[in-house]
Structure 1
Amino acid sequence: MIPAMPPTGFRGLSLWHDTIGEIEPRPALTADLEVDVAVVGAGYTGLWTAYHLVTADPAIRVAVIDKEVAGFGASGRNGGWCSALFPASLKRMAAERGRDAAVRMQHVLHATVADVGRVAAEEGIDCHFDQGGYLSVARNPAQLERVRAEVADHRRWGFGEEDHRLLDAHEVTDVAGVSNALGGSFTPHCAAIHPARLVRGLADAVERRGVRIFEHTTAVDVHSRRVVTPHGTVRAEHVVLATEGYTPAVAGRRRAIAPVYSLMTATEPLPDDVWAQIGLEKRTTFADNRHLTIYGQRTRDGRIAFGGRGAPYHYASKVSPRYDRDERVHATLRRILVELFPVLEGVTFTHEWGGNLGVPRDWFPSVRHDRHTGLAFAGGYVGDGVATSALAGRTLTAMIRGDDPDGLATLPWAGRTSRDWEPEPLRWLGVNAVTALMTSADWSERRTGRPSRAASTFWAALGQ
């Protein structure tokens, strides 16, 4: 059951926006401006970059512009997983820069999760950060085989039980009362957060340090050393493109990123007797090990916020508010959540929303900076961007400043560029075919209990 919820200002964008109060937009850019660094996009990537720049050098002049408001996009609407998950496997990262670099990347991602919580605490950002870890549940034999293989693979890369632990069915239900659990895995390197509180808090934090944020300001064109807007040009030595799923809207970048929609729903606050059956006392984030991703968390106010893929990719990389809701997909998400936790049968769902995320052609995020042109980019997180964007901000800061004591610019994702997506209609056919393939693979695995050969072939083709 979904009660009527007409949008009010920005509150109708998501549960997260609905629970932070009204958003008063900052003034737009109205004249030419000269700064040291111009950032396009006031989401996590842009704001973390600004934060680390001004923390390293309080005198640096940084301006951030956004077509909407800070946190309007995926940074304010996501599932609230601040995790060390990365779309490219250790094997894939090692192919780029070697085994040691791949392992170091994973260790840095582990540390980044706690770093986000530390910075939030230091800046007084109450983003509901609780590092309760991540539980991946196997609910059929194919998923169990995959979970076991993933944990074994981490052992081969030198990660012990303190990082990734195999669970039996009883250990799974000790954390969460998921139905039909056969086993699972647990990693402590994930925190549940309130994403809109984090991104809005970051915007306030950088403003306190002198960063200028201009909202309702569209980047009409992005060039070396300048960003053109309808009412003024921002000139800067360095220009950071931090637009993630909105990147195709920037002139000349239509095929750089595919904007793929992920949708979410949320229950009403649940009573204590229901939570006693569900568990998740430490706000452990959860999913099962299906191919078509799902993700959930227990919110601080006692709801379950739950999301997943399955919405179609829209022709020519179109992005529109009307794609934020899809009744077929939202109904599927509600059904899956009740399957996971049958005690939720008949519960009221109060919110449904969605947004786009950025998918590069090779499923491999990147962060790069060209010292000759001053242009920089970070993104393509494939939905794993909360902690990864914080690392991207640190890495871009090191690149821009030419000061990299931690060697971040040598990590596997640094300095690389994914090739462009195919032109239409091939892009539309390809992206939607992958969604259909994963849906079919999950259905086959539920029915037969055997791993899907088609899905395995797809991931192998990506080098995963």
Structure 2
Amino acid sequence: MVSTVTPRPRPIENACFWLAERRRKTDPPLIGRREADIVIIGAGFTGLWTATFLKMLDPSREIVVLEQGIAAYGASGRNAGMLGEAIDHSHQLAITHFGRAEAARLARLGVENLGNLLRFLEERRIDCDLERTGQLHVALTPSQVEELREAQGVAQELGLSHYRLLDAAATRAELDCARYQAGLFNPHGCIVNPVKLAEGLKREAVQAGTVFHERTRVTAMERSNGGVRLRTAHLPGAAGTESRMEATGVAAERLQAAASRLKAAAARAQAAVAPGTEGEIVARRVILATNAYTHQIFPRLQSRFIPLYDYILVSEPLSDEQMSHLGWRRRCSVADMRTFFKYYRLTRDNRILWGTSEAAYYKGNRVDASCDHSERHYAELRDSFRRHFPALADLEFPYAWGGPICSTTRFTPFFGAAEDGRILYGLGYTGHGLGTTHLAGQILAHMALERPSPLLDLALVRRKPFPYPPEPLRSLAVRAVTRALRRVDTGRRPGLLLRCLDAMGIGLSS
């Protein structure tokens, strides 16, 4: 049998393994008119952590969160669930963009941030399938071995002494793959179920008094009497048991009949709220927690970031024999050292999540359902998995999906205010949002409440990243850089384009 993925694209709420396991009912949309002190647009990790810290700083504030899909619908629910301490894309890039002293501060802050996040989860007893497994970066070529040595050296210079360089034998002792030539192990890394984490944070926010409206799209945003007026529309659709059964391949007539009854009940429950019904909310401040979707509601920021799609497969559960063959004794998450790297981990029930940072860009900053699936990327993922683990070539991958990350030219997030401070924003995590949003929530909460914090003095808060060119130059530039980086991944030296970008301080090798 040949490894396969579902050939017919499915709604992301069924195709994504994490979202397909979701059981919670959707919160009602915003209907009619209301007011709030602060409105957060987006119920991903940026919005959830911001709501959490707002209530911790000032429980009296009335906080409302608007989400056009469901909580964790975007990158927050579609990522690999690999939780680490990184705020920047690499320590060397942080030195290039911010200087050595600020890079050292970010390195220390990343360790502190991860510790605080884990402590919060423990204190609040949030069950998100947390495993403290560590993270392993692996070298597939001799040049990548040298890159690992350099990365460890830079980390030590910045005060991080916990990284361990592993030779080929020690690396394969962590996960038995003949392609590994060396590894760099970070014991601080963790793996989680990101949707369960988001649902746990949402429950905490609701218990603190935050109100959520899902299936609520913001259609207009305007100044109003010292605040901001938002107009909204109710969007149809909800993940149901019937679609989840399709995702897992269950076809029993009894279960299908039960699903039909649930679907009919859901339709009756929503009959009183017709799709397109408008709502309105006025708030003193609005926080954009929309990351890769931000340009759809606030176009003036679209020059500061680009949305890039990653694609992921999740396998069927591995047998004990298959697990023994892999020798994945520590269950650590893994990523290789290529620019367009593969990353992988185990789920709680021993499925393999296999992802790629191919960074697909769709012209015009397009982020919609048409980008959620890519058979080309799925085929490449299957092929790369077989090359890594030929003994598991027959493994089935019933889940396959894509999701947008938000990248900036300096590969760190940025923050700011508009409309005389009425609108705040934070975005651009470049693949590190699972941990960095915990920090972003604190930054945005302090900005919204006008409270002092040393976090507001960070260079990544005070300075904006270099802008991307407009279309059609943007698409042409992304295509050219992608081709150049692919050549480097095959072992060739960086060409003139990449050397020029490095000289400008906006290259991946800077």
TM-score > 0.5, shorter chain as reference? yes
CA distance in 1, matches of 2:90, 2:181: 25
Aligned partner of 1:180 in structure 2 is 179
Aligned partner of 2:272 in structure 1 is none
Give the partner amino acid of 1:64.
V
Aligned partner of 1:199 in structure 2 is 198
Aligned with residue 314 of structure 2, among 266, 269, 278? 266
Aligned partner of 1:28 in structure 2 is 29
The equivalences for 1:419-458 within 5 A come to 419-443=466-490, 445=491, 452=494, 457=499, 458=501
Instruction: Report the secondary structure of 2:426's partner residue.
Output: strand
Q: Measured at CA, do residues 97 and 352 of structure 1 come closer, stay the same or move farther in structure 2, by a change above 3 Å?
A: closer
Give the partner amino acid of 1:310.
E
Q: Does 1:234 align with 2:236?
A: no
In structure 1, stretches of 5+ residues that fail to align are none
Aligned partner of 1:335 in structure 2 is 383
Q: Does 1:59 align with 2:60?
A: yes
Instruction: Report the secondary structure of 1:286's partner residue.
Output: strand
Aligned with residue 387 of structure 1, among 417, 430, 435? 435
Give the partner amino acid of 1:228.
L
Structure with larger Rg: 2
Q: Does 1:114 align with 2:115?
A: yes
390-399 vs 311-320, greater mean Cα deviation: 311-320
The equivalences for 1:80-119 within 5 A come to 80-94=81-95, 98-119=99-120
Instruction: Report the secondary structure of 1:85's partner residue.
Output: coil
CA RMSD in angstroms comes to: 2.4
Residue 383 of structure 1 deviates from its aligned partner by: 1.2
Q: Measured at CA, do residues 379 and 134 of structure 1 come closer, stay the same or move farther in structure 2, by a change above 3 Å?
A: same
**What TM-score, normalized to structure 2?**
0.83
Aligned partner of 2:456 in structure 1 is 409
Q: Measured at CA, do residues 311 and 324 of structure 1 come closer, stay the same or move farther in structure 2, by a change above 3 Å?
A: farther
| 8 Å CA contact retained: 1:85, 1:384 | yes
378-387 vs 171-180, greater mean Cα deviation: 171-180
CA distance in 2, matches of 1:312, 1:419: 21
| 8 Å CA contact retained: 1:176, 1:279 | yes
CA distance in 1, matches of 2:48, 2:375: 33
CA distance in 1, matches of 2:183, 2:156: 16
41-50 vs 315-324, greater mean Cα deviation: 315-324
Q: Measured at CA, do residues 9 and 154 of structure 1 come closer, stay the same or move farther in structure 2, by a change above 3 Å?
A: closer
Instruction: Report the secondary structure of 1:358's partner residue.
Output: strand
Residue 89 of structure 1 deviates from its aligned partner by: 4.2
Give the partner amino acid of 1:279.
G
CA distance in 2, matches of 1:329, 1:454: 28
CA distance in 2, matches of 1:84, 1:412: 18
Residue 95 of structure 1 deviates from its aligned partner by: 5.9
Give the partner amino acid of 1:415.
R
Q: Measured at CA, do residues 435 and 8 of structure 1 come closer, stay the same or move farther in structure 2, by a change above 3 Å?
A: closer
Give the partner amino acid of 2:172.
T
CA distance in 2, matches of 1:42, 1:5: 30
Instruction: Report the secondary structure of 1:151's partner residue.
Output: helix
Residue 28 of structure 1 deviates from its aligned partner by: 1.1
Residue 119 of structure 1 deviates from its aligned partner by: 2.1
Query: Paired residues, what number?
Result: 455
The equivalences for 1:260-299 within 5 A come to 260-299=308-347
| 8 Å CA contact retained: 2:221, 2:231 | no
Q: Measured at CA, do residues 10 and 329 of structure 1 come closer, stay the same or move farther in structure 2, by a change above 3 Å?
A: closer
Residue 415 of structure 1 deviates from its aligned partner by: 2.6
Residue 372 of structure 1 deviates from its aligned partner by: 3.7
Q: Does 1:326 align with 2:327?
A: no
Aligned with residue 378 of structure 1, among 423, 426, 435? 426
CA distance in 2, matches of 1:227, 1:40: 13
Q: Measured at CA, do residues 182 and 330 of structure 1 come closer, stay the same or move farther in structure 2, by a change above 3 Å?
A: same
Q: Measured at CA, do residues 430 and 87 of structure 1 come closer, stay the same or move farther in structure 2, by a change above 3 Å?
A: farther
Instruction: Report the secondary structure of 1:103's partner residue.
Output: helix
Aligned partner of 2:44 in structure 1 is 43
Aligned partner of 2:157 in structure 1 is 156
Q: Does 1:130 align with 2:131?
A: yes
Instruction: Report the secondary structure of 1:198's partner residue.
Output: helix
Residue 328 of structure 1 deviates from its aligned partner by: 1.2
Q: Does 1:147 align with 2:194?
A: no
